[in-house]
Amino acid sequence: MKPAALILLTLAAGLLLYGIEDLPEWGDPQAPASGRISPRYIEKTLEETDTPNMVTSVLADYRSYDTLGETTVVFAAGLACLLLLSREVS
pLDDT, tens digit, for every residue of 7-31? 999 999 999 999 998 888 888 888 8
User: For residues 13-49, b (16+ Cβ closer than 10 Å) or e, as one string?
Assistant: eeeeeeeeeeeeeeeeeeeeeeeeeeeebeeebeeeb
pLDDT, tens digit, for every residue of 52-64? 898 888 888 888 8
The model's pTM: 0.48
